[in-house]
A and B are shown apart, each in its own frame.
Chain A
Amino acid sequence: MTTEITKPPVEDFATDWDHTDPTWVKDPYPIWDELRETCPVAHTNRYGGGWFPVTHELVSEIANDTDHYTSRTVVIGNGRPGDDAPPAPIGVVPPISSDPPFHQIARRIILPALAPRPVAALEPRVRELCKSLLEQVQDNEIVNGSSDYAQYIPANVVELLLGLPHEDEDLFRHFIHVALEGVDEPDPDKRIEMFTPLEEYITRVVEERMANPGDDLISYLLSVEVGGQKLAPEHIFGTVVLVLIAGIDTTWSAIGASLYHLATHPEDRQRLVDEPELIPTAVEEFLRFYAPVSMARLVKEDFDFHGCPMKKDDWILLGFPAANRDPKAFKDADKFIIDREVNRHLAFGLGIHRCAGSNLARLEMQVALEEFLLKFPNFELADESAVTWSQGQVRGPRNLPLRILK
Chain B
Amino acid sequence: MKVSIDPDRCQGHGRCFSLAPGLFDSDDLGNGFAVGDGMVAAGDEELARLAQANCPEHAVLIEE
Q: Which residues of A contact B (CB under 8 A)?
A: 108, 111-112, 114-117, 280, 284, 341-346, 348, 350-352, 354, 358-359, 362
Interface bits B18-35 vs A (CB < 8 Å: 1, else 0): 100000001111100000
User: Given A342-B54, A343-B54, A344-B56: A354 and B26 within 8 A (CB)?
Assistant: no
Residues of B within 8 A of A358 (CB): 12-14
Contact residues in B for A351 (Cβ distance below 8 Å): 11, 57
- 14 example contacts (A-B, Cβ-Cβ < 8 A) are as follows A111-B30, A115-B26, A115-B28, A116-B26, A116-B30, A344-B53, A345-B56, A350-B11, A350-B57, A351-B11, A352-B11, A358-B13, A359-B30, A362-B14
The residues of A that contact B50 with a CB separation of less than 8 Å are 341-342
The answer to whether B53 touches A115, judged by C-beta atoms less than 8 angstroms apart, is no
A280 touches B11 (CB 8 A): no
Contact A116 B53 (CB under 8 A): no
Whether, in the assembled complex, B55 has its beta carbon less than 8 Å from a beta carbon of chain A, the answer is: yes
- B54 near A116 with CB under 8 A, answer no
The majority secondary structure among interface residues of chain B is loop
Collect the chain A residues with CB atoms within 8 Å of residue B17's CB: 116
On whether the beta carbons of B28 and A112 are closer than 8 Å, the reply is: yes
**A354:B29 contact, CB within 8 angstroms:** no
A342 lies within 8 A of B53 (CB): yes
Cβ < 8 Å to A, chain B residues 4-52: 11-14, 17-18, 26-30, 50
Q: Which residues of B contact A344 (CB under 8 A)?
A: 53-56
A111 touches B57 (CB 8 A): no
A108 touches B13 (CB 8 A): no
Residues of A within 8 A of B54 (CB): 284, 342-344
Shortest distance from the beta carbon of A388 to any chain B beta carbon, whole Å: 31
Shortest distance from the beta carbon of B62 to any chain A beta carbon, whole Å: 15
Chain A positions within 8 Å of B11 at CB level = 350-352, 354
B56 / chain A contacts, CB cutoff of 8 Å: 344-346, 348, 350
A345 to B14, CA, bound (A): 13
Question: Do residues B18 and A280 form an inter-chain contact, with CB atoms below 8 A?
Answer: yes
- B29: chain A residues at CB < 8 Å are 108, 111-112, 115
Q: What residues of B have a CB within 8 angstroms of the CB of A345 in the complex?
A: 56
Which residues on A sit within 8 Å (CB–CB) of B12? 111, 115, 354, 358
Interfacial chain B residues near A341, Cβ < 8 Å: 50, 53
Q: How far is the CB of B14 from chain A (nearest CB, A)?
A: 6
Nearest chain-B residue to A119 (Cβ)?
B30
User: Shortest beta-carbon distance, B49 to chain A, in Å?
Assistant: 9
Q: How far is the CA of A280 from the CA of B29 in the complex (A)?
A: 22
Closest A residue, CB atoms, query B55: A344
Q: How far is the CB of B25 from chain A (nearest CB, A)?
A: 9
Starting from the known contacts A115-B28, A342-B53, 17 additional A-B residue pairs (CB-CB under 8 Å) come to: A108-B29, A111-B12, A112-B28, A112-B29, A115-B12, A115-B29, A115-B30, A116-B30, A341-B53, A343-B54, A348-B13, A350-B11, A354-B11, A354-B13, A358-B12, A358-B13, A359-B14
- Given the complex, which residues of A lie within 8 Å of B26, measured CB to CB? 115-117
> In whole angstroms, how far apart are the Cα atoms of A350 and B50 in the complex?
19
B14 and A116 form a contact (CB under 8 A): yes
**CB-based nearest B residue for A114:** B30
A283 → chain B closest CB, angstroms: 10
The CA-CA distance from A223 to B29 in the complex, in Å, is 18
A111 to B54, CA, bound (A): 22
Q: Which 9 A-B pairs have the closest CB atoms?
A: A115-B30, A354-B11, A111-B29, A342-B53, A116-B26, A344-B56, A112-B28, A111-B30, A344-B54
CA distance A119 to B57 in the complex (A): 22
- For B26, B27, B30, the residue with the greatest tally of chain A CB atoms inside 10 Å of its CB is B30
Within the complex, the shortest CB–CB distance from A103 to chain B, in Å, comes to 12
The closest CB in chain B to the CB of A60 belongs to: B56
> Which residues of the partner chain A approach B53 to less than 8 Å between Cβ atoms?
341-342, 344
Measured between C-beta atoms, what is the minimum distance from A288 to chain B in Å?
10
Max count, chain B CB within 10 A of own CB: residue among A116, A341, A358, A362: A116
- CB-nearest residue of chain B relative to A340? B54
Most A CB within 10 A of own CB, among B13, B27, B54: B13
A362 to B54, CA, bound (A): 15
B51 to chain A, nearest CB (A): 11
The complex places the Cα of A362 from the Cα of B11 at a distance, in Å, of: 16
The chain B residue sitting closest to A351, CB to CB, is B11
